[in-house]
Amino acid sequence: MALHQPLRTLLFVPGNKPRMLEKARTSAADAVILDLEDGVPPAEKEAARAAVREALEKGGFGPQVILRINAFPTGLGEEDLRATFGPNIAAVCMPKAEAVGDVLRLAPLLTELEQEHGLEVASVDIMLLVETARGLLHAYEISSVCWRVRALCLGAEDLTRDLGATRTKDGQELQFIRSQVLLAARATSIVAIDTIWTDLQDPQGLEAEARRVRQMGYSGKLIIHPDQIEPVHRGFAPTEQEVVHARRVVQAFEEASLRGDGVITLEGKMIDAPVVARAREILALSEATGPGS
């Protein structure tokens, strides 16, 4: 049960909240992240493991299910995984990812647990959450070291704190960071997932940010509340204008190809193979998610 597109919205669900876990089954998010890490107070870690294990055994989740364990250096990560692992998990999220050794420790552990639970080997992916300066520096190395890694996510709250940066609403401090995470992800042919939006009272701002990071090349955003699902979905959907233009590009290029032309102009702009490939991607995304506003 590996990760698949679309992955526009990945909703954090605290593992110590059974009612939230139950609601997550019918969430409209593309994926839910059952959280054993920051969303769970230290005193409730064990109860969270039991609640998540029960939820996973019950199954019936509509969205894809991702399990966020605690980082291995805490001493909790492996036990999190052993206590909750089972069917219905598409991926395991490693928080504060910064060391190749941690990825290489997680991968064989997943193989062991897949075999133990009678699952197909390689059926569970790894999602890495970059939240430290060291993790940002090593983003390419940790994402390329293992074929199980399918997504690289930006955790800006912890990362800006680690950098000594001030987190702002317009995100100027994240421009370089976002570019680095995206570059590392695309260099390894995996998806990049953007950080959370913390202002629950500003869905318009969230939608605008989602649109900006989609234009950068990101595939989705981490979210913290169900009300954020629709604004992000709108932000990641191609606009009607984009879809119309993409259709014109593909049609014009196909007609030119029949004439033996590999490069054409449309509305005064050059159209070649990379432009056409992007147009086809826009049409495929629109087909999968519907056009936005």
Residue-wise pLDDT for 48-102, tens only, equals: 999 999 999 999 999 999 999 999 999 999 999 999 998 899 999 999 999 999 9
200 and 254 part of one domain: no
Domain final position from 236, 254, 279: 236
Q: How much is the average pLDDT of 140-150? A: 97
277 and 197 part of one domain: no
92 and 181 part of one domain: yes
Q: Which two tokens stand for residue 163?
A: 């950098």
Ordered DSSP codes for the chain: ----S--SEEEEEETT-HHHHHHHTT-SSSEEEEESSTTS-GGGHHHHHHHHHHHHHH---SSEEEEEPPPGGGT-HHHHHHHH--TT--EEEETT---HHHHHHHHHHHHHHHHHTTPPTT-SEEEEEE-SHHHHHTHHHHHHS-TTEEEEEE-HHHHHHHHTPPP-SS-GGGHHHHHHHHHHHHHTT-EEEEPP---TT-HHHHHHHHHHHHHHT--EEEESSGGGHHHHHHHHSPBHHHHHHHHHHHHHHHHHHHTT-S-EEETTEEE-HHHHHHHHHHHHHHHHH--B-
189 and 82 part of one domain: yes
89 and 201 part of one domain: yes
Rounded CA-CA distance 69/47 in Å is 14
Residue 256 pLDDT grade (very low, low, confident, very high; cuts 50, 70, 90): confident
109 and 248 part of one domain: no
209 and 225 part of one domain: yes
Checking if the pLDDT of 293 tops 60, the result is no
Q: Which two tokens stand for residue 234?
A: 């709108």
Residue 167 pLDDT grade (very low, low, confident, very high; cuts 50, 70, 90): very high
Residue 273 pLDDT grade (very low, low, confident, very high; cuts 50, 70, 90): confident
Residue 245, pLDDT score: 77
Residue 283 pLDDT grade (very low, low, confident, very high; cuts 50, 70, 90): confident
Residue 91, pLDDT score: 98
Report the DSSP beta bridge partners of residue 220: 193
Residue 2 in domain: no
Residue 144 in domain: yes
Look up the domain containing 75 and give its range.
9-236
* Tally of domains in the chain: 2
Residue 280, pLDDT score: 84
70 and 183 part of one domain: yes
Q: Residue 126 maps to which CATH number?
A: 3.20.20.60
pTM assigned to the model? 0.89
Residue 282, pLDDT score: 80
> Which residues touch 31 (CB under 8 Å, ≥6 apart)?
3, 7, 9, 10, 11, 63, 64, 65, 66, 90
Residue 291 pLDDT grade (very low, low, confident, very high; cuts 50, 70, 90): low
Q: Which two tokens stand for residue 162?
A: 């680690």
Residue 244, pLDDT score: 83
| Mean pLDDT score across all residues of the chain | 92
Instruction: Report CA-CA distances (Å) from 185 to 10, 158, 178, 182, 289.
Output: 17, 19, 11, 5, 22
Q: Calculate what percentage of the chain has a pLDDT beyond 90.
A: 78
Rounded CA-CA distance 260/141 in Å is 43
Dihedral sign of CA atoms 183, 188, 189, 194 in order: negative
Residue 162 pLDDT grade (very low, low, confident, very high; cuts 50, 70, 90): very high
225 and 247 part of one domain: no
288 against 175, higher pLDDT: 175
Residue 1 in domain: no
Rounded CA-CA distance 204/227 in Å is 12
Rounded CA-CA distance 213/29 in Å is 18
Q: How much is the average pLDDT of 142-157? A: 97
Residue-wise pLDDT for 209-244, tens only, equals: 999 999 999 999 999 999 999 999 999 988 878 888
Residue 292 pLDDT grade (very low, low, confident, very high; cuts 50, 70, 90): low
Residue 202, pLDDT score: 97
* 8 A C-beta contact, residue 21 and residue 107: no
